[in-house]
Amino acid sequence: MSDIGEDDRLRTKTDEAGGDIYSEDGSIRADFLAMVGAAIADRDVLFLRQHVARLHESELGDLLEAILPDQRLALVKLLGDHFDLTALTEVDEAIRMEIVDQMPNAQIAAAIGDLDSDDAVYILEDLNQEDREEILAQLPFTERVRLRRALDYPEQSAGRRMQTEFVAVPPFWTVGQTIDYMRDEEDLPESFTQIFVIDPTFKLLGVVDLDKILRTKRQVKVETIMRETNYPIPADMDQEEAAQLFEQYDLLSAAVVDENGRLVGVLTIDDVVDVIQEEAEEDIMRLSGVGDEELSDSVTQTSRSRVPWLLINLFTAFISASVISLFEATIEEVVALAILMPIVAGMGGNAGSQTMTVTVRALATRNLDIHNAWRVARREAGVGLINGVVIGCLVGIVAGLWFHDVNIGGLIATAMLINMFAAAMAGIMIPLVLDRAGADPAVSSAVFVTAITDTTGFFSFLGLATLWLLG
């Protein structure tokens, strides 16, 4: 019989699990996943609390995404009150809802009471109205009011992202009073870098950085060392615009105010980083016509999000095909044209995508507007001409040698020049026009740019062939 006791077995598992759950490529270690899976299957609550409950919220989020759906639900159930609900802010929406739907509202309410208000709102906003109200009803009055106020702001707004816990003092307080308040008050944020100064109606007057407080004598009044708040953010401002203010002015945090200038919350850099990442991912996905698709979506959901844009692409493809049909006789006469057509359209599409990507990103970051649009358009026109000459000459030489016909080479070189210039113009003008019309250029630009480069490429190539070779 083995002399190894329960403590020794737990210590052995601890050594095997190790401190870092990630492998060199950034994925969760396979051996750690295997141990977690075995612990779930064996209902080894002690091991799970020792090695899973201690994980940082982002690590726990990665683990939840890596294990199987049945294991996720079992893991949350086994951890019980030791499960960190903040981890649900780090996973796909589908996974978050899958877990939350299986948790009793009483357990969610108890866990939300320990979260920062911004994380609590992030979880509550996706619940149906009935469950949300039931959870809120179980929270203390002050916390319930704060969360309801944040949930009343529009989605994707600064008000939804803000943290309602902050430190605010009146201007007539001394530095000593402020320090004593921060030491004695229990209901303060876990971390903060600024103290806001407000009047009796909560109207924002200014801000004092913590380092200024620490370097000032106790008897000095707060109003003498406060400064005007750097760029207070309206609660209804779009979260992407708020993130751009942080980026432009290198902010760590910013006050969030209502329409009357009253302090209602604070937006911090960690939330802004999440916004920037989400917006970047959203733009990339929309450029490809896949909407808000997530890796955890089902086959049906994924297909449903992609089909509409594929149908629009199919429609534009028929437009391109109709252009080709106009020159059926020319293609029958010179078979080489059918071989070379995809090169003209493909290169034009790639050039248009390059310009379109740069333009959409510049519009999203507000680096491109009506004031510099013409200058940028001239630059892209120059780039299109130069690239058209370089690529056109190269393709023309190859095509001429391939088919032993200098006319074919000259024809495709000229068509390539025309199409790459058109692609550059379409790549910048279409996003600009869509943006001016109030449409999202990230969603619609790709379809129109592809349609223009295909039709222009085919029309210029086959039209020139009809005039040049058969005219």
**Long-range CB pairs of 196-200, under 8 A, 24+ apart, other chains included:** 196/166, 196/167, 196/168, 196/169, 196/229, 196/255, 196/263, 196/266, 197/168, 197/169, 197/170, 197/171, 197/222, 197/223, 197/226, 198/168, 198/169, 198/170, 198/262, 198/263, 199/170, 199/171, 200/170
Strand partners, 230: none
**The predicted structure's pLDDT at residue 287:** 62
In tens, the pLDDT along 137-187 reads 999 998 899 899 999 999 889 999 999 989 999 999 999 999 999 999 888
**The predicted structure's pLDDT at residue 291:** 59
Plot region of 431 (φ>0 → left; ψ -120 to 50 → alpha; else → beta): alpha
The candidate with the shortest Cα–Cα distance to 157, out of 237, 231, 89, is 237
**Sheet with 168-169, edge to edge strand ranges:** 168-169, 194-198, 204-209
Three-state SS for 216?
Answer: coil
Tell whether the model's pLDDT for residue 348 goes beyond 70.
yes
How many whole angstroms separate alpha carbon 142 and alpha carbon 50? 34
The structure's pTM equals 0.66
In this prediction, residue 74 has a pLDDT band, given cuts at 50, 70 and 90, of very high
Which domains, from first to last, does the chain contain? Answer: 27-161 (1.25.60), 168-269 (3.10.580.10), 299-468 (1.10.357.20)
In tens, the pLDDT along 229-240 reads 768 999 999 998
Average pLDDT over residues 11-32: 71
**The predicted structure's pLDDT at residue 9:** 45
**The predicted structure's pLDDT at residue 124:** 92
Plot region of 438 (φ>0 → left; ψ -120 to 50 → alpha; else → beta): left
**The predicted structure's pLDDT at residue 39:** 94
317-354 per-residue burial string, b: 16 or more CB within 10 A, e: under 16: eeebeebbeebeebbeebebbeebbebbbebbbebbbb
In this prediction, residue 61 has a pLDDT band, given cuts at 50, 70 and 90, of very high
In tens, the pLDDT along 175-219 reads 999 999 999 988 888 888 899 999 999 999 999 999 999 999 999
**The predicted structure's pLDDT at residue 470:** 65
